[in-house]
Amino acid sequence: MITYSYNNIRNDFNKMWGDFMNVKYQAISNLNVACVYYRSFGNLKNVITIEVRKSPTSKWKTDTYKIKAVSSKYGEFNKIEEIQVENRKYSYPHLYIKELQFDEKWDVLNLIKNDTVTLFVENQNYEFISPVRE
């Protein structure tokens, strides 16, 4: 697991919320967001994930907004609604993934080097920066 760092360029970071970063969304609400590379995530292998969750105090209507995630190196992420973990399925209302292809486990460090993932929620964007930099 390699967690991407949140780029707080608009000073909209509120606090950590477990594994998520709680950030301001527009003037009246907030979201919990996380961007992580996983070697294994349920039935998925070698994926960068970005997940958006509604925080307990959020006024955000999760089903009405256009959301997308884009990697500066690998393009647009795919939305995934369910992950299989052994015999159970888990639902994710806003989970986006990008699968990476490589042979050796350490190759991932070169693949995510200098990557930036941008999350677009309607007209607002959030940037996550790979911790592997030149």
What is the token pair recorded at 61? Answer: 């209507």
The confidence score (pLDDT) of residue 62 equals 64
With a cut of 80, say whether residue 90 has pLDDT above it: no
Q: Decide if 78 is inside a domain.
A: yes
C-alpha torsion 81→7→117→40, nearest 10:
-60
Q: Which residue's entry shows tokens 């369910």?
A: 82
With a cut of 90, say whether residue 74 has pLDDT above it: yes
Q: How many domains does the chain have?
A: 1
More confident position, 25 or 128: 128
Q: Decide if 63 is inside a domain.
A: yes
More confident position, 84 or 117: 117
* Model confidence band, residue 63 (pLDDT cutoffs 50, 70, 90): low
Q: Decide if 134 is inside a domain.
A: no
Range of the domain at 50: 2-129
Do 125 and 105 form a contact (C-beta atoms < 8 A)?
no
* Model confidence band, residue 18 (pLDDT cutoffs 50, 70, 90): confident
Q: Decide if 117 is inside a domain.
A: yes
Residue-level length of the chain = 134
More confident position, 101 or 56: 101
- Specify the pTM: 0.90
Which residue from 3, 92, 77, 106 is spatially nearest to 43, judged by alpha carbons? Answer: 92
Q: Decide if 28 is inside a domain.
A: yes
Q: Decide if 45 is inside a domain.
A: yes
